[in-house]
Structure 1
Amino acid sequence: MSRKVIELFYDVVSPYSWLGFEVLCRYRNVWNMELKLRPAFLGGVMQESGNKPPAMVPNKGLYMVQDLNRLASFMNIPLRHPSDPFEVMFQKGSLSAMRFLTAVAEKEKDGDRWVENVSREVWMRIWSRDEDICEPASLSEAGLKAGLSPSDVEEILAMAKSQPIKDKLKQTTKEAIKYDAFGFPLIVCHVDGKPKVFFGSDRFELMAYCIGEMWLGPQPDKRTSNL
């Protein structure tokens, strides 16, 4: 049976993207799939689609706090809210971080283990330890902690400032928009040449049904799924 290709479009400013990211990474060797991590810019998707952040609606914002706490516990992900979520999400944003991750993906030609490890570390900074993800020193620290060498980090930081990387991030964001994205995470499952699109981190049971796989919960192997 041919392996299914599953693309995950995400932005580290989105905590729900982190939840979806971790679950799909846990299923790499459970489902018959090839997971492709696609760092993209949520701000561009929101602007193009005309969507508004749910946290801008007070009642939705209050619900999201409770919802994320419950999901973090359920999925065994160390998600904790930053002290000033509004500043983190809307004032500082994630453009520099997503350019950095795009550069990591360009630097890593074979596989995406670097992208996985660095993405996770950046999420840990913003959504677990309430640390900066905008300054070059912050991104450098994330890269080093994720296992990159100092020389690789230096090269990736330089790449992240280049026009080709900026254009690559725009291109990936446009690809998400072509799938009618209006937010992240966006999961695109390619089965028999046809894309099946799912939004959010709470559609895995339905997704498994649609692609002919078995959903075993957010921790398919509790012995190996702890962060």
Structure 2
Amino acid sequence: MDATSDSKKLGAVKLSRVTFRATNRDGDPSALKNPAAAQSSRGASNVKPLPSEGSSKPTDTKKPTQSISLSGLLAAQRMTLRLKNQAALRRKARARTPNRKPINIINEQVPAGSANPAQRFPYSIAKELIQDFLTAKLRNVTYDPSTSADLTKNLCEDIKKIVRRVTPARYKLICNTAIGSKNQEDILVTSQCLWDSYSDNITSCSFQNSTMFCVVTVYAVYFE
């Protein structure tokens, strides 16, 4: 009985040694020295603690709301303004393109029976010249019936000489001048003539000071 019990004990010891070595072959080397600590650490790592009823918190199942940041909105506005400014600069650059020739969409038609001068009478330039001359000549002149006839004749000759400087060739000039007293009366000066409305032209100016008024009309008639 003693031998049998001794043999069972020895076999159990051998079996335990084989089992022990097989389970701890790939484990931590420190577990060979302390197998109880290794088993306790494995049990602690595999078992998850159950949450306690008092410490449990309800989970929030609501989705986060999307909010627009102020900085992003300002950045978008700045980008839009920059694009608008760039488009405006491009349009201005196209408008300021140099050396662009004018395009004649509709050619001016010469009426039948009208003269066709190479250069037409510049009535706007002539009007400015006459206006400057009357202002300088009659600024300090007082109306006098005895000298009005001579003054009118001299004004006509001087105005024709001034306008002749800017008049193209083959134009004849006719100057009509009227001078009157300024005594609170109303006066109306009109003129009418028959001419070629395409080649001929007219310009008119008026001047007045404290005592007199002067009305000048210049006709430019093209002569073929």
What range is the shorter-chain TM-score in?
under 0.3
Provide TM-score, normalisation by structure 2: 0.20
* Structure (1/2) with the larger helix percentage: 1
TM-score (norm 1): 0.20
Structure having greater relative contact order (Cα 8 Å, sep ≥ 6)? 1
